[in-house]
Amino acid sequence: MPDASPTKWHRAHTSWFFDTFLLQPHLPGYAPLDPTYGYLFNSYYEALGTRHPRPQRGLVTRPTVSEVATYRGYVDDAMARLFEVADDRQWETIAPLIDLGIAHEEQHDELLLMDILNLFSHNALRPAFAGYRPASAHEASDLDWIGFDGGIVEVGHDGTGFAFDCEGPRHQTLIRPFRLASRLVTNGEWKAFMADGGYARTDLWLSDGWATVNERGWHAPLYWEEIDGVWNAMTLSGLHPVEDAAPVCHVSHYEADAFATWAGKRLPTEQEWETAAATVTPKGNTLGSNLFRPAPAQGAGLQQMFGDVWEWTQSPYVSYPGFKAAAGAVGEYNGKFMSNQVVMRGGCCATPDNHVRATYRNFFYPDTRWMFAGLRLAEDA
């Protein structure tokens, strides 16, 4: 699949990040292990030169898995030397880059699991990355509507602790009173949408979404397949019957918007979502739970704001007022993607535990489905 990469590429690319942005400029006497790795493992940094085409990463049979592990050890050892020799002046420069490199690696922890799932979904043997473990709940909490007053609110990162550049600067914005669903949309609710002709009704879809549905033949979420009248879904634990109480997953923004229209609601804006998320603790069903799939909501109040699935908003991915990309190649990290993509919030079941926060802005093209993506409904108050 053109968007996916082999696991060894993820390992090599995250090593290359430290190699390129920290070791080569800042460690005296450092020499790259192999100069060709700069071509093979650069992802999208135009300022750093040409690179291997992304859709063809699966064809890179060399270096081997073992050689990539050697490369990682080489970079780790060199980073340890940099820690020892850097003086106070250097630390002012390298500390933010180290933070960025660690957060970048956490992103790839999630990406490589998404890519493994996509790869395994194309294998007739339906292999599993991890053993299947039942969720702790088998029924979803009742859906309630949580009200918020709106008004002039502050959103965006305040500069305390790490954040990606696109999360700031913090600024004021006006939101109208709104209500947010207490939990995510479930598989059972999605089945009702499908049974009511959700994928065949033109009145529910954005124009581009309707064109995509027909072009690609969508009739259910990605990884769903009907076997003897029963819907099953491919997961990181193999193929299993769809859990009606669990959040629906692997749907595009177009599908999420169509469902919201069908339900007589809408998707939240990212400002509404962040305002609500700031009222709860940033914890949930993330990577550390080792469940590797979304789980049914439990409890009362605002639930599942963090973990389970990334939540589509209706907001385009654009810069905040006052945003400026960093100078040099590292400035390409987020800023150059601020066009034609849609913001997602909250993290998912494959997101590292300490990688979620209320201000985090993820973003994908509206037709993308291979990530752990779902939705929560909103309405005007």
Instruction: Let me know whether 116 and 74 are in one domain.
Output: yes
Instruction: Let me know whether 186 and 310 are in one domain.
Output: yes
Q: Is residue 287 part of a domain?
A: yes
What would the 3-class secondary structure string for 214-225 be?
HHHCCCCCCCEE
Range of the domain at 210: 145-380
Q: Is residue 219 part of a domain?
A: yes
Instruction: Let me know whether 101 and 150 are in one domain.
Output: no
Integer angstrom CA distances of residue 207 from 157, 200, 373: 34, 13, 21
Provide CB contacts within 8 A for 357, sequence distance 6+: 157, 163, 282
Burial of 129-138, coded b for 16+ CB within 10 Å and e otherwise, reads eeeeeebeee
Q: Is residue 1 part of a domain?
A: no
Q: Is residue 137 part of a domain?
A: no
pLDDT in tens, 308-334: 999 999 999 999 999 999 889 999 998
Tens-digit pLDDT string for the chain (381 aa): 999 999 999 999 999 999 999 999 999 999 999 999 999 999 999 999 999 999 999 999 999 999 999 999 999 999 999 999 999 999 999 999 999 999 999 999 999 999 999 999 999 999 999 999 999 888 999 999 999 999 999 999 999 999 999 999 999 999 999 999 999 999 999 999 999 999 999 999 999 999 999 999 999 999 999 999 999 999 999 999 999 999 999 999 999 999 999 999 999 999 999 999 999 999 999 999 999 999 999 999 999 999 999 999 999 999 999 999 988 999 999 899 999 999 999 999 999 999 999 999 999 999 999 999 999 999 999
Domain-ending residue, one of 68, 89, 121: 121
Distance CA 210, CA 342 (A): 17
Q: Is residue 185 part of a domain?
A: yes
- The dihedral region occupied by 147, where left means phi > 0, alpha psi between -120 and 50, and beta the remainder, is beta
Instruction: Let me know whether 375 and 275 are in one domain.
Output: yes
Distance CA 259, CA 368 (A): 16
Instruction: Let me know whether 237 and 186 are in one domain.
Output: yes
Integer angstrom CA distances of residue 336 from 45, 46, 95, 300, 364: 10, 11, 24, 40, 13
Q: Is residue 345 part of a domain?
A: yes
Question: For residue 124, what pLDDT is reported?
Answer: 96
HSE at residue 23, side-chain half, CA atoms within 13 A, is: 22
Question: For residue 17, what pLDDT is reported?
Answer: 98
Query: Mean pLDDT, the chain, as a whole number?
Result: 97
Give me the percent of the chain exceeding a pLDDT of 70. 100
Domain-ending residue, one of 121, 136, 170: 121
Instruction: Let me know whether 176 and 314 are in one domain.
Output: yes
Task: Read off the CATH number of the domain in which 303 is found.
Answer: 3.90.1580.10
pLDDT in tens, 200-227: 999 999 999 999 999 999 999 999 999 9
The distance from CA 260 to its chain's CA centroid, rounded to whole angstroms, is 21
Q: Using only C-alpha atoms, what is the Rg of the chain?
A: 22
SS3 49: coil
Say what the alpha-carbon torsion angle 60, 62, 65, 66 is, to the nearest 10 degrees.
-170
Domain-ending residue, one of 57, 89, 121: 121
Q: Which two tokens stand for residue 267?
A: 């998707």
Of 7, 29, 30, residue with least CA distance to 18: 30
pTM above 0.85, yes or no: yes
Q: Is residue 154 part of a domain?
A: yes
Instruction: Let me know whether 309 and 196 are in one domain.
Output: yes
Instruction: Let me know whether 188 and 66 are in one domain.
Output: no
Distance CA 356, CA 135 (A): 21
Q: Which amino acid is at 81?
A: R
Instruction: Let me know whether 76 and 156 are in one domain.
Output: no
Question: For residue 137, what pLDDT is reported?
Answer: 81
Q: Is residue 126 part of a domain?
A: no
CA angle 66, 71, 72 (to 5 degrees): 95
Integer angstrom CA distances of residue 250 from 222, 247, 368: 5, 10, 8
DSSP state, 346?
S
Instruction: Let me know whether 215 and 333 are in one domain.
Output: yes
Integer angstrom CA distances of residue 174 from 75, 114, 222, 267: 47, 35, 36, 17
Instruction: Let me know whether 218 and 355 are in one domain.
Output: yes
What total of structural domains would you count in the chain?
2
Could you tell me whether strands 238-241 and 373-374 are parallel, antiparallel, or unpaired per DSSP bridges? unpaired
HSE at residue 22, side-chain half, CA atoms within 13 A, is: 28
Are the C-beta atoms of 354 and 288 separated by less than 8 Å? no
Instruction: Let me know whether 77 and 158 are in one domain.
Output: no
